[in-house]
Amino acid sequence: MGLAPLPEGVSFEGATPHQVVIIGSGPAGYTAALYAARANLNPVVYTGLEPGGQLTTTTDVENYPGYVDGVLGPEMMEHFKAQAERFGADVRFGIVSHLDLSERPFRLVVDEEEPLLAETVIVATGATARYLGLENEKRLLGRGVSACATCDGAFFRGVDLAIVGGGDTAMEESLFLTRFAKKVWLIHRREALRASRIMQQRVFDNDKIQIIWDTIVTDVLGRDEVERVRLRNVKTGAERDLAVKGLFVAIGHDPNTGLFKSWLEMDDLGYIKTMPDSTRTNIQGVFACGDAQDHTYRQAVTAAGTGCMAAIDAERFLASV
Ligand code: NDP
């Protein structure tokens, strides 16, 4: 394995190792922090670029146990953070940019320059939205192309929009977009949705949403802003343009695990491999939880569950060495 070197000039001399360093601040990271803090391990959490993780780009969360009337995603993540901090978790805004996991204490570098030593590392870096990979999609990103309806939906009042995808995210986001848009075209590459039945039904029942089946987006057209999307029916090959002011992409996510590629074993999709019934990775003292290692469930509650497991695994590991 080719190991990326640490940046020159960063010295670890005199640094005191933290017992637990948690990388990532979604439900997994904060739950790991809560449990590690309550175990008196004084965890440090590095939030990454998006403190709170993907849930901060969601609206209503209706399926997190305990919130009878639902809760807003960003608000829920504030609750997670506050609860971890109440027991002494040290939450810091920063990005772990480099690491060396060859021996303990592990050597980490934050924001390219700050040295950090860790007896254990909990990886909770989550996942990031996927795009279609079209040239014009990239060019028009932020000018009508978006992967976050919650963030950008309100900019599109009274206009027609397109959204791509057939999973729960696409359902949730298309429903959300109907609050603003005149019409929402839901474009799906197959003839059946992948989303849960309850979400499908909500979409079917919404008069503002019209589904275009068996169809892919082959181009996004517009000079400075999105004006049209080009569609191709995958069964007939027929092409046509659809006039829309925005294109929302909701086709799944990729795990944020690039930083660990040289060190941790991963599956073909880049999800970190963990031992059966545990959050242990191939390196002793390094644990992985949440969407960075789970491509099956990917729920806030399962991420929180594995975050709890990671903290307990780290605690037991520290007690055993
Ligand atoms: P999914 O992987 O479930 O769905 C992705 C969708 O995008 C699929 O319909 C897929 O098509 C389509 N797709 C993938 N790649 C392309 C492409 N290149 N071009 C066109 N279409 C493409 O991702 P989601 O983000 O929707 O959901 C992830 C997980 O999070 C799921 O487990 C989901 O249940 C959960 N979730 C739950 C919510 C809730 O309960 N409130 C809300 C949001 C997500 P195909 O079906 O053909 O593969």
Tens of pLDDT, residue by residue over 246-303, are 999 999 889 999 999 999 999 999 999 999 999 999 999 999 999 999 988 888 999 9
Q: Atom 4 of ligand 1 has which residue's CA nearest to it?
A: 167
CA dihedral 99, 102, 106, 111 (to 10 degrees): -10
> Which of 76, 198, 251 best tests ligand 1's pocket when mutated (most atoms within 8 Å of CB)?
251
Q: Report residues whose beta carbon is within 6 angstroms of any ligand 1 atom.
A: 63, 132, 164-170, 172, 189-190, 194, 216, 251-253, 298
Q: At what angle do helices 27-38 and 73-86 cross, to 10 degrees?
A: 20
Q: Atom 43 of ligand 1 has which residue's CA nearest to it?
A: 169
User: How high is the pLDDT of residue 3?
Assistant: 62
- Read off the pLDDT band of 63 (50, 70, 90): confident
List alpha helices for 46-191, DSSP H: 73-86, 135-139, 149-152, 168-177
> What count of other Cβ atoms lies within 10 Å of the Cβ of residue 50?
16
Of 117, 174, 133, 179, nearest to 154 by C-alpha is 179
Q: Atom 9 of ligand 1 has which residue's CA nearest to it?
A: 166
pTM score of the predicted model: 0.79
Q: What residues have CB less than 8 Å from 320, skipping those under 6 apart?
A: none
> Of the listed 111, 151, 241, 267, which one is catalytic?
151
What is the distance in A from the centroid of ligand 1 to the CA of 196?
10
Active-site residue, 268 included? no
Of 127, 146, 148, 129, nearest to 138 by C-alpha is 146
What is the distance in A from the centroid of ligand 1 to the CA of 5?
36
Active-site residue, 152 included? yes
- Tokens coding 192: 């059946």
**By the 8 A CB rule, do 192 and 218 touch?**
no
**By the 8 A CB rule, do 312 and 33 touch?**
no
For residue 263, the SS3 value is coil
Q: Atom 2 of ligand 1 has which residue's CA nearest to it?
A: 252
How much of the chain exceeds pLDDT 70, in percent?
A: 98
Active-site residue, 148 included? yes
Residues in the chain: 321
What is the distance in A from the centroid of ligand 1 to the CA of 127?
13
- Read off the pLDDT band of 1 (50, 70, 90): very low
| Atom number in ligand 1 closest to CA 130 | 15
What is the distance in A from the centroid of ligand 1 to the CA of 252?
5
Q: At what angle do helices 197-204 and 168-177 cross, to 10 degrees?
A: 30
What is the distance in A from the centroid of ligand 1 to the CA of 302?
17
User: How high is the pLDDT of residue 287?
Assistant: 98
CA distance 118 to 31: 19
User: How high is the pLDDT of residue 296?
Assistant: 82
